[in-house]
Amino acid sequence: MSEYRIEVDSMGEVQVPANAYYSAQTQRAVENFPISGWELPIPLIRAMGRVKLACAIANHDLGKLTGSGKTRLSEEQVAAMKSACHEVIDGKMDGEFPIDVFQTGSGTSSNMNVNEVISNRAIEILGGDRFSKSKPIHPNDHVNMGQSTNDTFPTAIHVATAVEIETKLIPMLKRFHESLQEKASKWDRVIKIGRTHLMDATPLRLGQEFGGFARQIELSIERAKQALKGVLELPVGGTAVGSGINTHPEFGARVAKALADQTGIPFIEAVNHFEANAQRDGLVESHGQIKAIAMTLFNLSNNIRWLGSGPRCGFYEVILPDRQPGSSIMPGKVNPVMCESMMQLTARVMGNDTTMTLCGASGGNFQLNIMMPVMGHAMLESIMLLTNGVGAFIEFCMDGLEANPEACEASVEQSLSMVTSLNPHIGYEKAAKLTKEAFASGKTIRELCLEQNVLPKETLDEALDPFTMTEPQA
């Protein structure tokens, strides 16, 4: 059997791998864009399958795919086309989408890639010859009916983004919140010193510190929900420039409903198709929320890294689980590898936000944004990195993370900031003087106060009780 077959499009003949389900336009794009080796993200490919299925349903219900006429199909052909869409959605055709991310800015190459695969697979399902030059189910006339790349490709980006946020990122953030909340409750009685400006501050409880971390993730969950809201309006129905040429007036609304039914996510037709075709503001807004989540995760993991520093010359207030040897030269050294992994991946997400902003600002010229494939790639990469990064952090760091009460409590008595609780008794100026004396002498605040009989012992013990310093007192 030959390694290639000959396919024909409007530009002439082209060699296509013999068994590929795609055809000439896909192959031309493969040859034109040997850029990065990065194919479109799988969630975006599957979302395109969802969009094509929803379009087939809408066209069928509107009477556009059945009956007489050149672009009409029988019920059996429609069913085959839907089955082929389901195979794309289910991942059975993942190997059929070889086009590089850095392609035509509208995503036309990838849209036609999907159209060709669905067309050829549907023909095969019906028992026909998918290699035949005549296409009883045509990639343009039937699979792409009522559509343009300019409205269906951004629709697929929105659908993929929403599905990944709803089914992966939000559930993972909820797991993280539960893990942090569990630690906060478990460590509520562990007293430690606070730090502001990286300097000693007043005491708090380790559980309170982790409760703050838990609240950060609770807010991140809300930001993820806001990110999802930013992509609920779908451009489909606008076709080439937003006017809806060559499609039914109800098409966009019906496709949005079909996609909502498929996913359980409340997609709606765009309020204004000219805006929806031309601009990707909603996508930029959505990624902005993803960036904020990344910033939170960077900060949180870096704080845990600092808390685990040591074991003898750092804070060592929490004990990080040993994951792997930490040095090629220092035997026995163990590093905070999961924290460092999280910090790196969140830095990548923050970099992706710059890409999203630039593409949204400069790529939307008149009736079309021409930076969409890289925007889709950046968005879905960011969601994937955060989802997988948080999952690994929970499993390999949080689940084995332990408190070190001895280290926490040892630093409290040594802290000069303990003097803060004496302010109501002796005033700020005298307290500041005690602090300087304690630092110069190497004595604790308690020792110095006892030597100088600053307060009666009972009053002093009450004032310097670190637990009472961790919450307001009436």
Q: Point out the residues that are catalytic.
A: 197, 327
Closest CA to 334 of 319, 322, 316, 318: 322
Helix (H) / strand (E) element for 369: namely strand 368-369
CB atoms within 10 A of CB 211: 19
Residues 6+ apart with CB under 8 A from 310: 316, 407
- Tell me how many degrees the CA angle 374-376-379 measures, rounded to the nearest 5: 105
Q: Tell me how far apart the alpha carbons of residues 197 and 199 are, in angstroms, rounded to a whole number.
A: 5
Decide if 40 contacts 97 (C-beta within 8 A): yes
The two structure tokens encoding residue 88: 């794309």
**SS3 per residue for 273-335:** HHHHHHCCHHHHHHHHHHHHHHHHHHHHHHHHHHHCCCCCCCCCCEECCCCCECCCCCCCCEC
For residue 365, what are the β-bridge partners?
368
Within a 13 Å sphere around the CA of 105, how many CA atoms are in the beta-carbon half? 13
Residue 128 DSSP SS3? coil
- Tell me how many degrees the CA angle 211-394-311 measures, rounded to the nearest 5: 75
Closest CA to 157 of 230, 48, 268: 48
Helix axes 108-125, 24-32, angle to 10 degrees: 150
Pairing of strands 233-234, 268-269: parallel
Helix axes 206-229, 281-307, angle to 10 degrees: 170
Helix (H) / strand (E) element for 341: namely helix 337-363
